[in-house]
Amino acid sequence: MAAITDIYSEHGQLRRPLAWSFGLHVAFAAFVVLYAVFIHGLRGEGWGSGGGGDAMGATLVSSVPLPANPAPTENVLATESKGLSKSQPTVPEKEPEAIPIPDKNTKTKIKPAPVKTATKRKPEPEPPESNRIPYGEGGPVSGPYSMIAGGAKGGFGFTGSGGDFGSRYSWYVQAVQRKVTENWLKYEVDPRISEAKRVYITFDIARDGHPSNVQVEQSSGVPSLDQSSVRALQRIDTFGPLPPDYSGSKVSVEFWFDYKR
């Protein structure tokens, strides 16, 4: 009850200044309109483009509504002192609209860029977080602590004009595959990662079986996984000499690593 009486008394005190304020605003607006009409109207005619003058006039008219809000301005002044109930709803109405939109935008912009198509399918906040673990945000690593599941589909293909290395010497290809897999130490991969995109490594095998020119052809986006794959190759001295009846001087290999904990 006391608060209400206070509000009334303040209204009483503010009535005069308000009248002054209103009068001055109207006077200022009238001045601006008159100024614009006279100066710009003359200039516009002088330049010979009536359309420009019309446009300026239109924008100025839009500023007129400001003085046309005499009633709201009273409320605004009231909120400065105590009108909490009125000022709060106006502010939150703007915020919920403004904030969520940038949030969605930033999320969808950041998350799909570094990683997968999966994020496009699932714009919900939770799944992208589990994929995000590589970037150090932390999170629950679900699933057993085990070796790589052997369920990956795929096979080895061969290109080149001969293109028959794989079919003629499949035993050699299998030896390469076995040896790289043996030398890949999965514990070198960041333990927070449960799954990652396939990383492609390319290298050459010289006639004596020595691997060289090891390169990451396509990164998995997980640095430790890329590095563990390269290290697997660096650990290998030789794959054994190329088949004696093979005519080429070297074979190029594209090797992929699927990581799944």
Partner 1 sequence: MVNIARPIRHHNLITVALLFLLAATSSAQDWIRTGTGLGVEKVRLAASDFKPSTTDANNAALLKTFNDVLWNDLDNAGIFDLVSKSFYPLQEPGQPSEVNFPAWNSPPPNASMLAFGNLGAAAGKVTVQGWLYDVKNQASPQVLGKQYTDTPTTDAVRVIAHRFADEIIFRLGGGVPGIAESKIYFVSERTGHKEIWVMDYDGANQQAITHLGSISLSPRISPDGSRLAFSSVTKSGWEIMMYSFDLNRMVSFPRFGGMNLSPSWSPDGKIAFSSSRNGYPNIFLVDASGGNSRRLTNDHGPDVSPAWNRKTGAQIAFVSGRTGLPQIYTMEADGTNVQRLTDQGYAVSPNWSPNGQFMTFSWMRKYGPGEPGSNDLYLMDVASKQWVQLTHDAGRNDFPCWSPDGRHIVFQSHRSGSDQIWAMLADGTNVKQLTFKGANTQPNWSWK
Name which of 117 and 247 has its Cβ closer to partner 1: 247
Name which of 173 and 222 has its Cβ closer to partner 1: 173
Name which of 45 and 208 has its Cβ closer to partner 1: 208
* CB 217 to partner 1: min, Å: 11
Q: How far apart are CA 160 and CA 23, in angstroms?
A: 88
Q: How far apart are CA 218 and CA 207, in angstroms?
A: 26
* CB 158 to partner 1: min, Å: 6
Name which of 24 and 152 has its Cβ closer to partner 1: 152
* CB 254 to partner 1: min, Å: 4
Residue 204 phi, psi (nearest 5): -110, 145
Name which of 177 and 224 has its Cβ closer to partner 1: 177
Q: Which residues bind partner 1 (CB under 8 A)?
A: 148-152, 154-168, 170-171, 173-182, 184-185, 187, 198, 204-205, 209, 235, 237-241, 243, 248-258
* CB 126 to partner 1: min, Å: 27
Residue 210 phi, psi (nearest 5): -80, 130
* CB 187 to partner 1: min, Å: 5
* CB 213 to partner 1: min, Å: 12
Q: How many CB atoms lie within 10 A of CB 153?
A: 4
Name which of 119 and 196 has its Cβ closer to partner 1: 196
